[in-house]
Amino acid sequence: MKLIITGGAGFIGSAVVRRAMAATTWDIVNVDKLTYAGCLDNVASVSNNPRYTFEKIDICDAKAVQDLIIRHKPQAILHLAAESHVDRSIDGPRAFIETNIVGTYNLLETARAYWSDLSAGDKQTFRFQHISTDEVFGSLGPTGYFTESSHYQPNSPYSASKAASDHLVRAWFETYGMPVLTTNCSNNYGPFHFPEKLIPLVILNALDLKPLPIYGRGDNVRDWLFVEDHAHALLEVLAKGVPGETYNIGGSSERTNLEVVQTICRTLDELRPRQDGRPYNELISFVADRPGHDKRYAIDASKIRRDLGWSPKESFESGLRKTVEWYLTNQEWCRNVQGSYRRERLGLKG
């Protein structure tokens, strides 16, 4: 059986590729455009496996997507390809509209044409799984959780583009009957994370004794999910999920941004003490807040726990320690992946 994974050289996508190769019998086709955040080093551990194939394709190219699906004849598609950094969406929203909306449309339409021609049995087993974010729901107050029935209220160009793609996927199920699945996840962290995001940025800045920037007062709250736990959840949804259903995936690990940075600092104080003996937290620097910065996200993951039997294996503390240890031992990957990006502040055009 063949599984196409779009965005499989990115952070979450590569974790899914690695887990699928290790824990399933799928033949994997990794489809990635290889933008700044996509790196084949992320999947080097499986690249020589005969069950693995890589295709460099931009999902905005409808003809290339059509050729891909015709050639590989997949039994399922896991769609993770997306522009994902909120700050970059503030500086340049067009790429987010093109990839996250138009690219998703191209995949849906090509998959629908392919699915329509399958035998009755293959139609029943085919799956199109769309991976989204809790950011489509907007901002929570100090209490409450996002559920699968939460209303959509995206507040950034990124989250608006993901909300649009979620609605397209739902429409293809309701209108055409295509067997789709959707997941909305909380903030991921872990190995192979491009250093524009908070946790890897803080780790690398701390090692270089650079300021550790925190937006506003650092009191924005996120629910943190270890990426390997997320990869496991996505494959459980693919195997057991009910077509047309949405599943929220969260780590039940709410932390303020300041708490996250302070935990990183304490972990580094233990694992890589500064030569001058000073604590890393003295590098913390509060900077102007992000435009439209949502106050709090929190996921109610009871549905996937109850219906599919999934729960995260890592606590925030154990997952973060593994993450810090990975960055400490993979400095060459960090240098190679950054390219022209110098960990500068993005998203100031708002």
N-terminal to C-terminal alpha carbon distance within the chain: 46
Residue 34: CB atoms within 10 A of its CB come to 14
Q: Which residues pair with 299 in a beta bridge?
A: 146
What Å distances lie between residue 171 and 114, 142, 346, CA to CA?
Answer: 17, 32, 34
Q: Does the active-site annotation cover 245? A: no
For residue 102, the 8-state DSSP code is I
Residue 145 sits at φ, ψ, to 5 deg, of -140, 155
CA–chain centroid gap for 255, Å, is 18
Taking phi over 0 as left and psi of -120 to 50 as alpha, with beta for the rest, 125 belongs to alpha
Q: Does the active-site annotation cover 135? A: yes
Q: Which residue, among 301, 180, 302, has the nearest Cα to 242 in the 3D structure?
A: 180
Q: Which of 27, 58, 87, 135 is catalytic?
A: 135
Q: Which of 32, 83, 87, 134 is catalytic?
A: 134
Token pair recorded at residue 99: 């990839």
Q: Are 169 and 180 in contact (CB under 8 A)?
A: yes
Q: Which of 158, 189, 247, 327 is catalytic?
A: 158
Q: Does the active-site annotation cover 332? A: no
Q: Are 289 and 216 in contact (CB under 8 A)?
A: yes
Q: Which residue, among 324, 298, 301, 325, has the nearest Cα to 312 in the 3D structure?
A: 301
Token pair recorded at residue 187: 């903030």
Q: Which residue, among 345, 331, 37, has the nearest Cα to 203 in the 3D structure?
A: 331
Rounded distance between C-alpha atoms, residue 149 and residue 143, angstroms? 17
Which residue type does 236 have? E
With DSSP H G I counted as helix, E B as strand and the rest as coil, what are the percentages for the chain, rounded to 5?
A: 45, 15, 35
At CA 98, angle to CA 95 and CA 100, rounded to 5?
Answer: 95
Q: Which residues are catalytic?
A: 134-135, 158
